[in-house]
Amino acid sequence: MHHDYVIQKSSGKRFVQITNDKNEIHRSGNVVPGAMTVSKIILPLEILIPELEIHNVSIKFTNSSIYDEKTKDVYSFQFVNREQIQINVNTFQSQDTVAKTVITGSINPFREKSTKVKEEDVNETKLDSIREYLGTLAVEGEAYIQKDSYRDYTYPLSYISTLPSAAIVKQMEGNGGMINMLKMDFGNVDMIPITDEKGPIVKLERARPRASFNKIITEIVNGVVTYYRGLAIVNPVARFRKPTTSVILPAK
C-alpha cells in the first residue's frame, strides 16, 4: 500500500499547537514535526482497518521531513502467524528515506468492545480537539469516529503517539536534541475514552545518561490508570537533511 501526501507549513503549525509542541523549529523553521510523520503512518491503518488492534509501534527517524514536499509512505503487510500481523513502513521524501517503522498487531473482529463509550459521556471539547488534529492531517473527523456499525469515541493511537515528543520538549526543556527513535507499547488494553477534561497525560523518566544519546522512558496515563508505555532515543545534536535559516531548538 502506498500513501502519497504533502504537508503544508500552515497544517504543521496548527498540528504543533494542538499537540502542545513548543519546539519553535516547526513554526518558524521548515521541518515537519516527527510526531506528524508518525501520525501520517498510523492513522490510515486506524481508518482503513478498524479491526486492526495495534500492539507495538517502533519508528526510527533517518532524516528530517520538509514542509511542502511530496512524501510517500510504503506499507508492506505480512502475517507472522495465524493471529499476529507485522506492517513495515518506509517513508520517503525527495528519494531519501525519512523514517522506517515496524508495527505489530492482530485482527480483532470484536474490537468494538474495547472502544465502546456512551455518547452522553463524551467530552465535547476534547472531541473537537481530536477533530482538529485529524483536520491537520487532511482527514475528516468522521472518517475515524464513524466505524461501520458504531461510533468510536476513543483517542486514536496515532494521536497518542504524538504526545511523548511534545512532553519531552516541555518537561525537559528541550534538553537532548532530536528524537531518533520512538517505541510505543500499546499492549492489549482498552483504548482511552474521550470523556474527561484532562485527557491522556505523559510521564517521563530519563534513564542513565549516555554521551551519545538520551534514553527516555514514557508512560501514557489517564486518571489513575497507566494505559501505554514506551521509550524515546534522543540524539544530543540535531541533524537536518536540508539547511534552514530558522532558530533550532535542541529537541524534536
Give the CATH number, domain containing residue 42.
3.10.129.10
Q: Is residue 34 part of a domain?
A: yes
Number of domains in the chain: 1
- Paired sense of beta strands 214-222 and 201-206, if any: antiparallel
Pinpoint the alpha helices (H) of the chain: 9-18, 34-48, 124-136, 141-145, 157-160, 163-171
Residue 134: is it exposed, middle or buried by C-beta count within 10 angstroms (0-12/13-18/19+)? Answer: buried
Q: Is residue 245 part of a domain?
A: no
pTM over 0.95: no
Q: Is residue 248 part of a domain?
A: no
Range of the domain at 224: 2-234
What does the mean pLDDT of the chain come to?
85
* Segment 55-111, tens digit of pLDDT: 999 999 999 899 999 999 999 999 988 889 999 999 999 889 999 999 999 998 888
Tell me the Ramachandran region of residue 64: left when phi exceeds 0, alpha when psi lies from -120 to 50, beta otherwise: beta
The H or E element spanning position 220 is strand 214-222
Distance, C-alpha 203 to centroid of its chain:
16
Question: Quick check: 134 pLDDT over 80?
Answer: yes
Q: Is residue 251 part of a domain?
A: no
Q: Is residue 252 part of a domain?
A: no
* Segment 149-188, tens digit of pLDDT: 899 999 999 999 999 888 887 765 544 456 788 999 998 6
Q: Is residue 160 part of a domain?
A: yes
